[in-house]
Structure 1
Amino acid sequence: MPTITQNLPDTFSIEAYQKTFALRPVKYPDDMPLLYKWMHAEHVVDQWQLHLPMPQLKTHFEKMLADDHQRLYLILCDDKPIGYTEVYETARDRLSHYYKAKETDMGWHILLGDPAVVGKGYLKPTGLMISKFIFEHTEAKKIVGEPDSKVEVYQWVADSFAYRVQRLIEMPEKTAALYFCNRDEFLESRGYLSFYGATA
């Protein structure tokens, strides 16, 4: 039986801010030079801690791609790669050690790798896209997030799309803010309705 994430479509896109934001699967090994560049970017190193030599980074992504509880995608803006995301099943992830996960709960991680888009408002439309993607293509009633509590920009995006902080959790590499986003609240959030209010 395919897993929840194996059943996710390969591509997805939305129109936001007069741009097209899209997802496509990570292509191995073709995307490795780009992922290597992003993982070694100054704004990424501390948060992701994957600034490894290429052989070790390849090994890491080989394991990630073989893990059937998650799917790895590149984030595109007008067909240009700008970031990377991991969409995963929380009940089969280490996050399930920190809260009582349901089988349908989903989560995601995001990396905006292109320095040209960092701090330029791209996190909001990409967060919208990934959340919409999950709710449209799975039976998830809840999306769970665990960003580093020190990354304040997530709070702004979280408030827009009904991601509610539950508590702080101590993970091996960070103190994370545990967020829950319920499907119904997301669809009624001001962030979602600002894009889809006319047709939602």
Structure 2
Amino acid sequence: MTFAIRTLDPLKDAELVHGWVTHPKAAFWLMGDATLPDVEREYMSIAAAGHHDAFIGERDGVPAFLMERYDPRYVELVGLYEPEPGDIGMHFLVAPTDTPEHGFTRAVITAVMAHLFTDPAVERVVVEPDVRNKAVHALNEAVGFVPDREIAKPEKTALLSFCTRAQFEAATAKGKEVRV
């Protein structure tokens, strides 16, 4: 499977992303009631931020997932843990579909992680999914994440988890190669 990852254009991509983040399967994205202008504002804010970026992942030229990368020293986790040099935060959301493909979401998270680790400054990826999101916990574990502890965020109780470059490489060495 080959993916391409490009920077999200807040105006051009807002309608597409709106359909993804408001879909019932994206409940943990916490934007279920967002309007199109809400989504435009959110991603314009991310685009303007110095420590937060959003991307669209494409499979064969077709948008297939959303990825966000953030610096946990300034976004999402400020005061909730002690960041280490080389830490980067990540969120991902696979586009909803009526025809799910076995293994696709795991291929997406593997591609997201591979993309993040192309930056030599990144030593460890940090995630903070909702503690109730068991499906994403299993995916995180499959690519090498190790849960650390539950943390209280304003919008959720989250499972703070970490994945080093070595943990990712060990976890995915046995799996199929995903090219980005």
Quick check: TM above 0.5? yes
Return the letter of the residue paired with 2:30. Answer: Q
Cα distance between partner residues in 2 of 1:96 and 1:104: 15
5+ residue gaps, structure 2, are none
Identity %: 22
Once the two structures are superposed, residues 42-88 of structure 1 have per-residue CA deviations (whole angstroms, 9 ceiling, x without a partner) of 211x3122232222322222111101212210111222112211011
Among 75, 78, 88, which residue is 1:93 paired with? 75
Among 42, 46, 56, which residue is 1:60 paired with? 42
Q: Say if 2:175 is the partner of 1:194.
A: yes
Select the structure that is richer in helix: 1
Query: What is the aligned-residue RMSD (CA, Å)?
Result: 1.8
Cα distance between partner residues in 2 of 1:161 and 1:58: 31
Cα distance between partner residues in 1 of 2:43 and 2:100: 23
Cα distance between partner residues in 2 of 1:87 and 1:127: 13
Moved over 6 A (4+): none
- Structure 1 match to 2:106: 124
5+ residue gaps, structure 1, are 1-18
TM-score (norm 1): 0.80
Once the two structures are superposed, residues 104-161 of structure 1 have per-residue CA deviations (whole angstroms, 9 ceiling, x without a partner) of 2101101112323657432211111111111121412211111111111122222222
- Structure 2 match to 1:184: 166
Count, aligned residues: 176
Matched position secondary structure for 1:86: strand
- Structure 2 match to 1:48: 29
Q: Is the 8 A contact 1:71 1:86 kept in 2?
A: yes
Q: Is the 8 A contact 1:74 1:83 kept in 2?
A: yes
Q: Is the 8 A contact 1:168 1:177 kept in 2?
A: yes
Higher relative contact order (CA 8 A, sep 6+): 2
